[in-house]
């Protein structure tokens, strides 16, 4: 009776471990397959090579796709046995030389060949084994290496295929496996051979410039770093002595790497537990530190930086830690001497960084802690001398001299410093020196937050008595803060003292006088401590937690009352400079009665032309920068507007205008602009309803229109062009203000009336006059005029929609408007062209046009030329690449408007036929898809100009555009 094959075996009884799972879910028994292909009578004999490749490609595909170590382990264990059997057969049959060639025609192999791969199967083999080689499972790595060895041992790779393995970095992966596997073993051997390494180091340290000395130092340093307890007390002593000798020899010449490794190793042995038991370690540290610092001054700056980083990252944390432990005074002295030597002889940049790091690490509290531990004269001198040098490096040269002068007399207890400030006895000969030093120490401590305590547990109390004494000194003398540097925190504290407001006001005025005479004080800084300059004053104004802004405004009123014109000019120029460079300062001025002070100044009888100009410049900059919510004192601004109207109306009648007139009109523009946000409403109404201003503006516009074609020669650099630009800007802002404040009292269609209509009650420019300016004016005049016309036409449409009005202009008038805007659709300035196109679109959308007018529009040859020009440029590949960027935008608005007409021109379907739309879509991409093109295609879709292919193409474009936008969003906000 036949015995049934075991479970999970093939029909011939081969075990499951020799079967290969396929991607499709089946399996192939490799012994059966090998027997099949080795039998000469088998029908598959001649196809065995291709079948072998198929089997190998299946296996590699599975291994490449999996990311699970368990799957990798299972696959590699089976495949090694299976491939061993298979290769044995193939070698006998002579197929081994081409096993990894590319005759197999699986889909993914063909795809790789299409991409230019010369040998896709060997590439697949390399890619499939990269993951297992980098696995954290050692057994998987070994199996992968066995498989590579098996393939190569069978002589299955040609020279070209071996080159592919090298190009795919398989040797690098193998070396990485070796490195990772050997590292832990190597570390363990280091522990065993550490005494031998030390003996080699002692021997090589006696030979200058020994070639392998850096490598030996690195091995010893790694051993101590990985195993801190490996080194004994005696070894620490011997090693420290050896390293000190190496550092001494570095001064005369040594490998830079040797010096760096010696410093690092010295730091490592200091952090080892055994270093605490070495008696002479303090002397060795002192000697080694001195040699290291001296060597650093004769080597490049990068090495000096490394030394300072070592002191900062290793020595300073250790110095802070041992303050609460038992430590030898000599070690503390050595560390202080090292730090002091670096600060004295290092480069300016590096030592300043180091000094800032020291003071930011509660150095003052740490210093007084060590003074408490070692109250000796030597420690006293060392502490105060390094304090003076640190202050020199942080505050500026010679800033720490008071501490050096008093280092022998100043007390060691920080509480005694405060006591010294209250002493007035003349019996103490060194009292002045000590008080200056005490002031400086307390001042620097407060700047760096050490008055609030530190991790060392010390506390330097804030003294109200000391503050009182200081304020009395400041109030009793004239302050001269321009010859010294001040920290911003100290300056802010000074301007927060309400008790010395008179002195502070004097200081502000003196600063304005100096700034007016020499504006080079602007943005001067050094070491973080800066002379009083415009930047510091502006920062104080913006912070709003001091009295600088109120002082400046009150000083403005005071100088006006005393008629001090020169000082007034200096103050106004200073305020203008602050607002120009620091716009947020304008908000604080507005919150501190700025409008009241300006109104008083404008209404003053002593307001000369120069003061008026300076004051107007300040008002202009404040209104330009101020936030709407911060502007207050509506009544004061109304009075200012009335005063400015009174001042400027006579000037506007005469020619030429001066700077005063242009400044006033600019101020009116900003007042009208703010009125849109429901502020300065009364002031804006005063401007809008000024009949004198309206008459002056009308005269200027008529003079400009009368010049006809010669108006183009009058740009903004000429007298007429400058006046016309100012008027058009004022008119543009007035349109928005009129909509917000006087909409119920104004009929926008009055601006479509002819010149014979009665004058309006507000200043205005009729549409036909704007068209004349657009046609004849310079580019700037065209831009402003077209913007005003677009705003007017839009408001007319909105008014007609709300009130269901009929259009009140004649056909001839309307055609004249259309003729002007059509002529500027292809103007070189894109904004002007866009404005004109939008104006034309508004007119086209007016539904109440008469039938005759609609026929004129539909039969317009000029409009057809515009559309044909648009489609030609959008369909021509060479032209479309540039045209899609910006130039299509104006005409595309008109195209969309014509398509949406209830009765669109019949020629539109001829212009935008299927081939034309297909050509446009062929040149369109996600990168050049603009909002204007989307609007155009939306109109084409709504009127059924698009077929199914067009719609599908657009859908793909929108999906790509959405993906690009999402990626861009992630890149920006990541």
Q: Where are the alpha helices (DSSP H) in 477-533?
A: 488-494, 501-517
The DSSP symbol for 313 reads I
The pair of structure tokens assigned to 769 is: 């006059």
* pLDDT category of residue 701 using cuts at 50, 70 and 90: confident
Sequence-distant (≥ 6) Cβ neighbours of residue 591 within 8 angstroms:
549, 630, 632
Q: What is the mean pLDDT of residues 739-763?
A: 70
Q: What is the structure's pLDDT at 620?
A: 93
**Is the predicted pLDDT of residue 60 greater than 80, yes or no?**
no
Q: Cβ distance 395 to 355 under 8 Å? A: no
282 vs 276: CA distance, rounded Å: 10
**Is the predicted pLDDT of residue 5 greater than 50, yes or no?**
no
379 vs 385: CA distance, rounded Å: 10
**Is the predicted pLDDT of residue 783 greater than 50, yes or no?**
yes
**Is the predicted pLDDT of residue 108 greater than 60, yes or no?**
no
Q: What is the structure's pLDDT at 455?
A: 45
* pLDDT category of residue 386 using cuts at 50, 70 and 90: very high
Q: Which residues pair with 486 in a beta bridge?
A: 530
Q: What is the structure's pLDDT at 172?
A: 76
Give phi and psi for 585, each to the nearest 5.
-65, -25
What length does the chain have? 974
893-913 pLDDT, tens digit each: 888 888 888 777 888 888 888
* pLDDT category of residue 852 using cuts at 50, 70 and 90: very low
**Is the predicted pLDDT of residue 720 greater than 80, yes or no?**
no
Least-confidence region, from 752-766, 798-812, 834-848: 752-766
442 vs 463: CA distance, rounded Å: 10
* 526 backbone φψ class: left, alpha, beta (φ>0; ψ -120 to 50): beta
* pLDDT category of residue 18 using cuts at 50, 70 and 90: very low
875 vs 910: CA distance, rounded Å: 15
- Per the model's pLDDT, the better-predicted residue between 852 and 510 turns out to be 510
Q: Which of 586, 680, 579, 589 is nearest to 627 (CA)?
A: 586
**Is the predicted pLDDT of residue 28 greater than 70, yes or no?**
no
**Is the predicted pLDDT of residue 938 greater than 70, yes or no?**
yes
Q: Cβ distance 794 to 748 under 8 Å? A: no
Q: What is the mean pLDDT of residues 433-440?
A: 84
Q: What is the structure's pLDDT at 389?
A: 92
Q: Cβ distance 836 to 890 under 8 Å? A: yes
Q: Which of 709, 704, 707 is nearest to 724 (CA)?
A: 704
Q: What is the structure's pLDDT at 761?
A: 63
439 vs 445: CA distance, rounded Å: 10
- Per the model's pLDDT, the better-predicted residue between 550 and 507 turns out to be 550
Q: What is the mean pLDDT of residues 445-466?
A: 56
277 vs 280: CA distance, rounded Å: 9
* pLDDT category of residue 222 using cuts at 50, 70 and 90: confident
CB count, 10 Å around CB of 952?
A: 12
221 vs 264: CA distance, rounded Å: 8
**Is the predicted pLDDT of residue 298 greater than 80, yes or no?**
no
Q: What is the mean pLDDT of residues 435-456?
A: 70
- Per the model's pLDDT, the better-predicted residue between 278 and 40 turns out to be 278
315-324 pLDDT, tens digit each: 888 888 888 8
Q: Cβ distance 217 to 262 under 8 Å? A: yes
Q: Cβ distance 378 to 333 under 8 Å? A: yes
**Is the predicted pLDDT of residue 213 greater than 90, yes or no?**
no
Bridging pattern class, strands 27-29 and 19-21: antiparallel
**Is the predicted pLDDT of residue 150 greater than 60, yes or no?**
yes
Q: Cβ distance 581 to 622 under 8 Å? A: no
Q: What is the structure's pLDDT at 73?
A: 62
- Per the model's pLDDT, the better-predicted residue between 620 and 83 turns out to be 620
- Residue 724's Cβ-count burial label (10 Å; 0-12, 13-18, 19+) is buried
* pLDDT category of residue 302 using cuts at 50, 70 and 90: low
* pLDDT category of residue 384 using cuts at 50, 70 and 90: very high
Residue 60 exposure: Cα atoms within 13 Å on the Cβ side = 23
- Per the model's pLDDT, the better-predicted residue between 587 and 522 turns out to be 587
The DSSP symbol for 429 reads T
588 vs 966: CA distance, rounded Å: 40
Measured CA distances, 966 to 322, 955, 960, 969, 973 (Å): 54, 17, 10, 5, 11
- Per the model's pLDDT, the better-predicted residue between 479 and 342 turns out to be 342
412 vs 375: CA distance, rounded Å: 8
Q: What is the mean pLDDT of residues 658-662?
A: 83
62 vs 432: CA distance, rounded Å: 87
Q: What is the structure's pLDDT at 454?
A: 46
Q: Cβ distance 397 to 424 under 8 Å? A: no
Q: What is the mean pLDDT of residues 79-96?
A: 51
Q: What is the mean pLDDT of the chain?
A: 76
Helix axis angle for 811-823 and 830-844, nearest 10°, is 150
Least-confidence region, from 94-108, 591-605, 668-682: 94-108
Residue 829 exposure: Cα atoms within 13 Å on the Cβ side = 15
Least-confidence region, from 402-411, 772-781, 861-870: 861-870
Q: What is the structure's pLDDT at 69?
A: 60
The pair of structure tokens assigned to 420 is: 């010294």
- Per the model's pLDDT, the better-predicted residue between 149 and 674 turns out to be 674
Q: What is the structure's pLDDT at 228?
A: 76
Sequence-distant (≥ 6) Cβ neighbours of residue 644 within 8 angstroms:
602, 664, 667, 668
Q: What is the structure's pLDDT at 642?
A: 92
4 vs 964: CA distance, rounded Å: 62
The pair of structure tokens assigned to 200 is: 């080699």
Measured CA distances, 847 to 142, 836, 852, 936 (Å): 83, 19, 13, 20
- Per the model's pLDDT, the better-predicted residue between 136 and 375 turns out to be 375
- Per the model's pLDDT, the better-predicted residue between 960 and 375 turns out to be 375
Q: What is the mean pLDDT of residues 365-375?
A: 88
The DSSP symbol for 680 reads S
23 vs 58: CA distance, rounded Å: 7
Q: Which residue has the tokens 């296996």?
A: 59
87 vs 96: CA distance, rounded Å: 7
Q: What is the structure's pLDDT at 54?
A: 55
Least-confidence region, from 43-57, 112-126, 488-502: 43-57
**Is the predicted pLDDT of residue 939 greater than 80, yes or no?**
yes
812-848 pLDDT, tens digit each: 888 888 888 888 887 888 889 889 888 988 888 876 5
Q: What is the mean pLDDT of residues 750-758?
A: 64
The pair of structure tokens assigned to 801 is: 């929609």
Q: Which of 653, 683, 691 is nearest to 667 (CA)?
A: 683
**Is the predicted pLDDT of residue 16 greater than 80, yes or no?**
no
**Is the predicted pLDDT of residue 120 greater than 90, yes or no?**
no
Q: What is the structure's pLDDT at 460?
A: 47
Which range of 312-316, 449-453, 759-763 scores highest in mean pLDDT? It is 312-316
760 vs 34: CA distance, rounded Å: 105
* 71 backbone φψ class: left, alpha, beta (φ>0; ψ -120 to 50): alpha
Which range of 519-528, 676-685, 803-812 scores highest in mean pLDDT? It is 676-685
């Amino acid at each position: 009776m036949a015995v049934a094959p075991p479970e999970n075996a093939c029909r011939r009884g081969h075990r499951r471990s020799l079967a290969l799972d396929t991607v499709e879910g089946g399996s192939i028994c490799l012994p059966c397959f090998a027997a099949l292909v080795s039998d000469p009578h088998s029908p598959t004999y001649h196809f065995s090579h291709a079948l072998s490749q198929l089997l190998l490609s299946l296996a590699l595909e599975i291994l490449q796709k999996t990311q699970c170590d368990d799957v990798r382990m299972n696959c590699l264990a089976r495949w090694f046995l299976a491939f061993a059997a298979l290769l044995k057969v193939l070698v006998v049959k002579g197929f081994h030389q081409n096993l990894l060639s590319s005759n197999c025609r699986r889909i993914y192999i063909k795809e790789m060949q299409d991409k230019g791969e010369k040998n896709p199967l060997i590439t697949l083999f390399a890619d499939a084994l990269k993951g297992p080689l980098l696995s954290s499972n050692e057994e998987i790595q070994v199996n992968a290496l066995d498989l590579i060895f098996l393939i190569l041992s069978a002589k299955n790779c040609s020279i070209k295929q071996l080159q592919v393995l090298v190009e795919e970095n398989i040797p690098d992966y193998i070396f990485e496996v070796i490195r990772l596997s050997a590292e832990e073993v190597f570390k363990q051997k280091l522990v065993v051979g550490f005494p031998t390494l030390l003996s080699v180091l002692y021997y090589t340290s006696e030979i200058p410039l020994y070639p392998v000395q850096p490598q030996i130092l690195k091995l010893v340093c790694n051993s101590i770093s990985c195993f801190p307890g490996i080194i004994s007390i005696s070894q620490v002593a011997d090693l420290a002595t050896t390293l000190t000798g190496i550092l001494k020899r570095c001064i005369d010449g040594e490998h830079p790497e040797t010096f760096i490794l010696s410093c690092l190793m010295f730091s490592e042995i200091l952090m080892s537990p055994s270093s605490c038991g070495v008696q002479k370690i303090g002397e060795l540290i002192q000697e080694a530190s001195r040699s290291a610092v001296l060597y650093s001054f004769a080597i490049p700056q990068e090495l000096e930086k490394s030394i300072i980083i070592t002191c900062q990252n290793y020595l300073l944390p250790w110095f802070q830690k041992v303050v609460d432990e038992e430590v030898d005074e000599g070690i503390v002295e050595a560390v202080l001497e090292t730090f002091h030597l670096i600060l004295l002889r290092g480069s300016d940049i590096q030592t300043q960084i180091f000094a800032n790091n020291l003071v930011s690490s509660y150095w003052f509290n740490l210093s007084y802690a060590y003074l408490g531990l070692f109250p000796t004269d030597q420690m006293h001198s060392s502490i105060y001398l390094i304090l003076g040098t640190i202050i020199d490096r942080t505050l500026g040269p010679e800033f720490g001299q008071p501490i050096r002068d008093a280092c022998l007399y100043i007390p060691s207890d920080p509480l005694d410093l405060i006591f010294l400030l209250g002493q007035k006895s003349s019996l103490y000969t060194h009292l002045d020196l000590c008080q200056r030093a005490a002031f400086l120490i307390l001042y620097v401590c407060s700047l760096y937050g050490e008055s609030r305590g530190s991790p060392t547990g010390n506390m330097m109390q804030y003294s109200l008595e000391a503050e009182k004494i200081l304020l009395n000194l400041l109030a009793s003398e004239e302050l001269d803060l321009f010859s010294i540097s001040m920290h911003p925190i100290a300056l802010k504290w000074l301007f927060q003292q309400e008790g010395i407001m008179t002195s502070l006001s004097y200081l502000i005025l003196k600063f304005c006088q100096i700034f007016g005479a020499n504006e080079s004080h602007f943005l001067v800084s050094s070491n973080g401590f800066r002379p009083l300059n415009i930047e510091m004053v502006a920062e104080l104004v913006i912070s709003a937690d001091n009295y600088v802004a109120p002082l400046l405004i009150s000083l403005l009123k005071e100088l006006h009352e005393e008629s001090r014109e020169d000082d007034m000019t200096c103050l106004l120029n200073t305020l203008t400079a602050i607002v120009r460079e620091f716009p947020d300062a304008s908000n604080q001025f507005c919150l501190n009665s700025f409008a009241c002070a300006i109104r008083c100044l404008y209404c003053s009888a002593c307001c000369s032309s120069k003061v008026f100009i300076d004051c107007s410049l300040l008002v202009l900059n404040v209104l330009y920068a101020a936030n709407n919510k911060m502007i207050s004192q509506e009544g004061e601004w109304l009075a200012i507007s009335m005063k400015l109207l009174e001042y400027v109306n006579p000037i506007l009648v005469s020619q030429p205008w001066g700077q005063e007139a242009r400044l006033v009109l600019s101020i009116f523009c900003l007042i009208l602009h703010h009125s849109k946000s429901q502020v300065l409403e009364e002031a804006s109404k005063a401007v809008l309803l000024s009949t004198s201003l309206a008459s002056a503006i009308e005269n200027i516009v008529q003079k400009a229109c009368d010049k006809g074609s010669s108006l183009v020669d009058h740009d903004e650099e000429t007298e007429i062009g400058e006046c016309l630009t100012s008027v058009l800007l004022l008119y543009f802002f007035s349109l928005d203000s009129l909509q917000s404040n006087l909409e119920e009292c104004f009929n926008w269609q009055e601006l479509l009336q002819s010149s014979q209509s009665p004058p309006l009650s507000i200043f205005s420019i009729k549409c036909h006059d704007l068209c004349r300016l657009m046609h004849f004016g310079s580019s700037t005049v065209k831009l402003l005029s077209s913007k005003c016309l677009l705003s007017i036409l839009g408001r007319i449409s909105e008014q007609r929609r709300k009130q269901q009005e009929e259009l009140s202009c004649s056909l001839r008038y309307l055609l004249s408007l259309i003729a002007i805007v059509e002529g500027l659709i292809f103007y070189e300035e894109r904004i002007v062209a866009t404005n004109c196109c939008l104006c034309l679109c508004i007119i086209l959308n007016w539904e109440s046009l008469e039938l005759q007018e609609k026929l004129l529009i539909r039969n317009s040859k000029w409009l057809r030329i515009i559309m044909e020009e648009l489609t030609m440029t959008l369909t021509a590949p060479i032209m479309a690449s540039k045209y899609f960027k910006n130039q299509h935008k104006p005409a595309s608005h008109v195209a969309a408007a014509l398509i949406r007409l209830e009765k669109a021109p019949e020629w539109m379907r001829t212009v935008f036929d299927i081939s034309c739309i297909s050509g446009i879509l062929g040149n369109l991409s996600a990168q050049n898809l603009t909002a204007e093109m989307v609007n155009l295609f939306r109109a084409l879709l709504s009127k059924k100009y698009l077929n199914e292919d067009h719609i599908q193409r657009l859908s793909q474009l929108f999906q790509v555009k959405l993906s690009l936008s999402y990626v861009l969003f992630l890149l920006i906000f990541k």
